[in-house]
Amino acid sequence: MAEAAPAPAEEPEQDGAEKRMPFLAHLDELRSCLRNSAIALFAGTIIAYPFRAYFFALLVRPLMRAWAETPALGRGELVMLSPHEGFMVLFKLALLVGVFLASPFVFREIWKFIAPGLYAKERKWGLGFIVASVLLFVGGAAFCYLYVLPASYKYFLGYSTESLGIIKHALGSTFDITLSNPFDIKPMISMEEYFGLTTMLLLVFGVVFELPLLLAVLAMLGIVSAGTLWKFNRYAIVLFAVAGAILTPGDLVVGQLAMTASLTILYNLSILLAVVVGKKRKEREDAEERAYLEQQ
């Protein structure tokens, strides 16, 4: 009687990126992440709403500081251009603060969504990912608040102290052309315009400071490598300069330079993180390959 054929050796359980979730499961996980993030944002907004006036007082400090450093402008003030503008600005500010309060929960949901594509040991870095995400996001906004906004508004308000009589004098000294009598330009800044510009800069800097973490996660997934990032370095600096010109308003040279320099520094920091992450990933893959070959 013929002997039964030996059962095929069981392949080692596959881990990390080799475990595939069905497409519908991905959609369900994404829906869950979006739902939980929305709940966290709603809760953060509810918590921030009673303190919205205090947050607005903090938000206008860079403008008022720049205004105080320009004595010719007089007392700093903001105006309302519609009856409901004050309410809407304060409500949107509570929503913005809710974004920052909810950011730990949002980043946790992001990690839960990308974790199935990682190795088991890499999935243990979840707490570090959340903490680093929050620190980079808040750190980028704080950098903008402390350094970029005061310099930006001082630069913008400087236009109001320039009289067009300077232009008349410059042309008249050469061509004897009289444009007009000198006159003053008084700033009249609305709450809505100030809120929109300021929050855009805060969020942009908060997001771009996430660059090292984003590239580190891509390196963990094996999508990018330190060598590829280094080869792209010279082109990245040009792209950062373009991004600084696009993401910062008007001809604000201070913001453009700050954005370009920040992105360049963060990108090179990302390369160092990719070196560490890539080395650990390769060691893990080699160890798993050796273990698989030993079982054959």
Q: What are the tens digits of pLDDT across the range 118-177?
A: 666 666 777 777 788 888 888 889 988 988 888 888 877 876 665 444 554 555 555 555
Predicted confidence at residue 9, as pLDDT, reads 46
> What does residue 45 show for φ and ψ, rounded to 5 degrees?
-65, -40
Predicted confidence at residue 12, as pLDDT, reads 45
Predicted confidence at residue 250, as pLDDT, reads 54
Predicted confidence at residue 39, as pLDDT, reads 93
Most confident of 13-17, 87-91, 245-249, 288-292: 87-91
Tell whether the model's pLDDT for residue 231 goes beyond 70.
yes
Pick the range with the lowest mean pLDDT from 3-12, 194-203, 283-292: 3-12
Three-state secondary structure of the chain: CCCCCCCCCCCCCCCHHHCCCCHHHHHHHHHHHHHHHHHHHHHHHHHHHHHHHHHHHHHCHHHHHHHHCCHHHCCCCEECCCCCHHHHHHHHHHHHHHHHHHHHHHHHHHHHHHHHHCCHHHHCCHHHHHHHHHHHHHHHHHHHHHHHHHHHHHHHHHHHHCCCHHHHHHHHHHHCCCCCCCCCCCCCEEHHHHHHHHHHHHHHHHHHCCHHHHHHHHHHCCCCCHHHHHHCHHHHHHHHHHHHHHHCCCCCHHHHHHHHHHHHHHHHHHHHHHHHHHHHHHHHHHHHHHHHHHHC
Predicted confidence at residue 195, as pLDDT, reads 92
- How far apart (Å, rounded) are the C-alpha atoms in residues 139 and 213? 13
Pick the range with the lowest mean pLDDT from 7-11, 108-112, 183-187, 192-196: 7-11
Report residue 10's pLDDT band, with 50, 70 and 90 as the boundaries: very low
Do residues 157 and 187 make contact, with C-beta atoms less than 8 angstroms apart? yes
Query: Of 113, 106, 102, 111, which is closest to residue 28 (Cα–Cα)?
Result: 113
More confident residue, 47 or 34: 47
More confident residue, 67 or 2: 67
Do residues 192 and 240 make contact, with C-beta atoms less than 8 angstroms apart? no
Tell whether the model's pLDDT for residue 22 goes beyond 70.
no
79 to each of 160, 191, 199, 225, how far by Cα in Å? 17, 6, 18, 51
Predicted confidence at residue 49, as pLDDT, reads 93
- How far apart (Å, rounded) are the C-alpha atoms in residues 156 and 150? 10
Report residue 17's pLDDT band, with 50, 70 and 90 as the boundaries: very low
List, for residues 36-73, the tens digit of each pLDDT value: 889 999 999 999 999 999 999 999 999 988 888 877 77
- How far apart (Å, rounded) are the C-alpha atoms in residues 241 and 163? 32
Tell whether the model's pLDDT for residue 265 goes beyond 90.
no
Do residues 127 and 43 make contact, with C-beta atoms less than 8 angstroms apart? no
More confident residue, 23 or 3: 23
- How far apart (Å, rounded) are the C-alpha atoms in residues 194 and 204? 16
Do residues 248 and 201 make contact, with C-beta atoms less than 8 angstroms apart? yes
Predicted confidence at residue 136, as pLDDT, reads 86
More confident residue, 116 or 139: 139
Tell whether the model's pLDDT for residue 19 goes beyond 60.
no
Q: What is the pTM of this model?
A: 0.68
Within 8 A by CB and 6+ apart from 187, the residues are 73, 157, 160
Average pLDDT, the chain: 76
What residues pair up with 190 in beta bridges, in sequence order? 79
Tell whether the model's pLDDT for residue 28 goes beyond 50.
yes
Give the number of other Cβ atoms within 10 Å of residue 240's Cβ.
22
